[in-house]
Amino acid sequence: HAVWCAPCKAMSPIIEQIGKEVQGKARVLKIDVDKNQHLARQFQIQGVPTFAIFQRGAIQWRHSGGMDKSSLKNMLLSFSK
């Protein structure tokens, strides 16, 4: 995410809700691409918001742009089994 990004601001409360709902099954993090430019380069983040699901340090799924809460949560839970 980025602090100047309007879609990121809109997604922020959804991300926080999902983080609470999947507690113990998955860990949800927001990473500021401006403060962590090395990670943005490493994972080739070219647009925000970008969502990624990692397992054992490798990206298993990735999506750029907004998503509805249900779709995002379902995608996350499908990888946490």
Candidate list 5, 14, 22, 26, residue with the active-site label? 5
Active site residue 65: no
Question: Are 25 and 81 a contacting pair, CB within 8 Å?
Answer: no
Question: Are 59 and 1 a contacting pair, CB within 8 Å?
Answer: no
Candidate list 3, 4, 7, 8, residue with the active-site label? 8
Active site residue 5: yes
| Radius of gyration of the chain, Cα coordinates, nearest whole angstrom | 12
Kindly list the catalytic residues.
5, 8
